[in-house]
Structure 1
């Protein structure tokens, strides 16, 4: 049975770890040719080797890319199209959460600028060059391929509500991603280019765990989670797959919250927390 991304080409930035890593593996399992982009080249190469072990027929391309540099992003898209002939999915997933990001009073301007460069400009550059490529996609009715594509921008639950642990630059940057996503979606909808944001809740990934580096900080987040646990990267990868595939063909401009109920909760429910993910995810 063909996969949901059969014959399609996907770029994933930040593919060396976390959501990017799990999405790369999942996209490959669903038939996509996957371009693994990361500023950490050895990490992306390890993911490529893992995909080769799990899915020997999958095609991958590994690229070192700093999404905060427009020239890097342009080269990433150009090299993808040169190798695979098209671009169907752009997952602008790369981002940073700097450990020195704090309140308006304590965050240094250099931390603010770096966060905006990666988290906001990186999404702008990725979307810009993805749109230019997707406009030129050749159609192939037999394979279900057409002009257009899907752009997915990783935002965050903090874009729609304040963060209990101060991280002003990160929060502001993810709010910008939501606003940018909505406008891109409206401008390019008639071109068959769908643009949605993926808004994760707190995840048990290196990015967040390095920021929540004390038990006090971790508990400050957990107290707001109805499920009583951090999310897993693979749970977000499955959501990204939905947005990348035709399963979400009538969705654009959406803020897709995958946050364990956090954004719907005033106070956490009574009872013992579920501190472990489902067994199927623990072995993924």
Structure 2
């Protein structure tokens, strides 16, 4: 048995037009997977099928999933919106629609299936406001979550960071129940990555400030470098990996944990420059 092969596996990649999602879809095809893609723009990858899907619209999500015969062996949620979009749309695509799509896809999955979600190191702060994050994570459905977000957005700060916090907390907790059905659920939290959203992130912050968060490796990741661990998480080689938030940030998070990165000093230097 080839633990790294996706031959004979039906894969769904949500967000396959560019960036990490496009790199993920391309590598899955190379590994023999039957790859189906959802996105607002057609993917450049030669997929088994592609469905136009606006993740802000539940009807689009339902229609896209209805077009997949099943079973789905591996589901990759790679889509996201940056802070240049309205805050409520950022929360929708980066959390509410993640939860909605995954829950709707579960009837098409069976034991041995796996789900991997792209989160972000921007969501690392969930531990600092866990009670607030749990409020939206525990909302019973999409409408309730949307109403909660609409009423709390002004006090949440960066909607991108908050949505990533919410998806991390929801997924880590949901993994505890899904595994009883033989379905694994994990997340990947990339550090600064060159992708289709790079210009958006740089417009909100600046290239110099973003590069601070590349320490200690001191370079940004390529999209492919994030696709590889994401693909591993849904592979047979990760059959005992469940409920983890795999951080692929070149060592930044661990450096912060042990006080080996002077974040304040580096930020001040970047701002001054």
Q: Under TM normalisation by the shorter chain, which class is it?
A: 0.7 to 0.9
User: Which residue number in structure 1 is paired with residue 113 of structure 2?
Assistant: 149
Contact 1:92/1:122 (<8 A) preserved: no
> Does residue 124 of structure 1 match 2:125?
no
Report which of the two has the higher share of helix.
2
> Does residue 223 of structure 1 match 2:206?
no
User: Which residue number in structure 1 is paired with residue 66 of structure 2?
Assistant: 78
User: Which residue number in structure 1 is paired with residue 72 of structure 2?
Assistant: 87
Contact 2:195/2:222 (<8 A) preserved: yes
User: Which residue number in structure 2 is paired with residue 115 of structure 1?
Assistant: 90
User: Which residue number in structure 2 is paired with residue 179 of structure 1?
Assistant: 169
Dislocated runs of 4+, deviation >6 Å: none
Deviation at 1:28, TM superposition (A): 0.7
User: Which residue number in structure 1 is paired with residue 27 of structure 2?
Assistant: 26
Instruction: Render the CA deviation track for 1:196-229: whole Å, top value 9, x for unaligned.
Output: 0110111011213332149x81111212321111
> Does residue 190 of structure 1 match 2:180?
yes
User: Which residue number in structure 1 is paired with residue 231 of structure 2?
Assistant: 241
User: Which residue number in structure 2 is paired with residue 261 of structure 1?
Assistant: 251
SS in 2 for 1:263: helix
Deviation at 1:71, TM superposition (A): 2.1
CA distance in 1, matches of 2:72, 2:38: 14
| Structure 1 unaligned regions, length at least 5 | 49-58, 101-110, 136-146, 270-284
Contact 1:157/1:257 (<8 A) preserved: yes
Contact 2:83/2:200 (<8 A) preserved: no
User: Which residue number in structure 2 is paired with residue 159 of structure 1?
Assistant: 123
RMSD: 2.2
Q: TM-score, normalised by structure 2?
A: 0.78
Instruction: Render the CA deviation track for 1:110-161: whole Å, top value 9, x for unaligned.
Output: x2211111111120122112211114xxxxxxxxxxx341111111001114
Q: TM-score, normalised by structure 1?
A: 0.75
User: Which residue number in structure 2 is paired with residue 69 of structure 1?
Assistant: 57
